[in-house]
Chains A and B, each alone.
Chain A
């Protein structure tokens, strides 16, 4: 159905020409699903845009061709390509929050392809849109069709997008990270929907994702993309269960797995090569633990058994696993952890008033209030050196709880004790001591690090503020902090934008550690990071806990990460704590229906392949 042959795409950037894709060849057969897997910067979204003929102006197809149903897309006129898009080729984007036009009703956006490709009238298209919305499992499709995007939840928007892409009945659907922005339960529903459509309509799918668990559920074939090259390509079972290329091995080893609690995750060290001057040899060489002098030579994608691998040493490496990480520090004495709690929260409640104000009820003004209680009578303890994992879907109140415990948000009711101090009833200016004991690591290191200050200044500030060491010793202390998070000392002179996402998050952690806290709220600290980087940060957090005895409230929507790191797990749903207990107990023997639902929705890489029809 779709065949991409030897495709090379280059982008003109201010820093020089960047080769985003180098000689990519893939093909998607009718009725099958091909997954493209890769981390950020691998070029996977460029493939989607190139196939749709939607590359931005600064991109250039240097060589290769894209053939759809026997016709070369590159040789078509602009108008022919436009006719093809939408009608035979559908594209579903990653972020349902920004790809729907905010000022057009959903029904119009779902049906407009029909108006332009199938000659429907607007009314007919709207009617068909309602049917399609119903088909993708939206309740009350009539009302939803008339609604605007901001009135819908993320899952509903993603369904509407899929409905819109499906409307003109395309032959090929390209899905670019279609479930990344969604909660696991919604993700599971969308994947089921896609699978059902594939079988009922014979749809061909090109599924682009970084999430191997999702890929395992949906794809027949997998192509692993690294730095613009395909490094391994084969059937889903083969690639995901017995990866051969070192990068595939590393990627799979880096994923925390439920029910397989290792002490440390395997991480892939280093970072992507600069694609403005790609290395002539193996592009993974600097990060590869198996690299040999011969890896310096150009590598070709060649047949190894049933699959294709871009590695000269593929055969000898076939059964060699990715090296298991060593334990860096001795874990702290576990018995010491059973001391009294460092954080103790009782009946904590926070209510927000939304859209409060005066409304007109006819001519009579009336006070209207919408209340939202993201934290509803929650009680929990966190002991010294303990990691309490907090899971729940978006909107469940995880972040609000974390911030309320630190008094970044003032609670409405309940008590919070940190250390021996009750802090829930103190005014902000008396929280000085608590601010030293309790710190926070934010989700997005891009927006939580001041872009105009060097890393050294950022780390020195809290030390100075609390007068932890004499002024002369501050630089030494900053170096020690950088060392603690395994960043070289010269990073003190860098600015945030000069570092990668993982490095920035290390700085975020160092900043939290600067005051030598006893308790840190980690609010989705790895959600913005790639899998291989995520593993390194999770390991770092585990090491720090073992070495310093810090307790964490580890908030994440990714249950596998929480299961890996946490001693105990708390599950939140709509502001309430539905289950809390020992990590193994909660994972293996969940009691609350919501926990069971949440756990069953998590896509797992190592589960047996689903029976495919």
Chain B
């Protein structure tokens, strides 16, 4: 089985969110980038398929050279090869098109992406990729088993879950549950050393027109201070929630 894991290069959760160029671009100054958490759950599940079922695992990112440390980290975790499509990511459709080209050429059986990236939260790349490839698609995937060319997946739905079956090739939008947080692997020194020698192929991007354009960013108005209510006077809390917040 050939697995492709799509890796988004995102600011870590504790990053300060600021914008530059007239609020049109994310300010990467001083920001620490990591593998998108939803992708890391998928990558770790892919490692399980590698160890238990002899799968090969490639990782791919659409981005400039700045994303390479993130791909190296995926290699250190255990991926076999990395591919970087050499173009900045502009919108979900453009990324999906670039990924589709890599996926087609590599003839992958299973493509794992995260349900959304934690920066732009678009949640559209996995589905668009599946539609472009005409492959089966399961979103919000919290469990995945593969037997031969048959996949059994569990999808989280609002208020429960759903069990789905599909044949490969399959694209999933994965999330926590594929593996647990405690299963995530911190690369060890050997992994890091090996990752330096593993192939990281830079491929030219396709000409793709975008469908959406981020015009500008804005930060929410600063929140006022919390109103503290005396624990002996909980009627005040109810009054505030009813009359001020109109929440109950």
Answer yes or no: are A and B bound together in one complex.
Answer: no
- Please list the residues of chain A having a beta carbon within 8 angstroms of any beta carbon in chain B: none
- Please list the residues of chain B having a beta carbon within 8 angstroms of any beta carbon in chain A: none
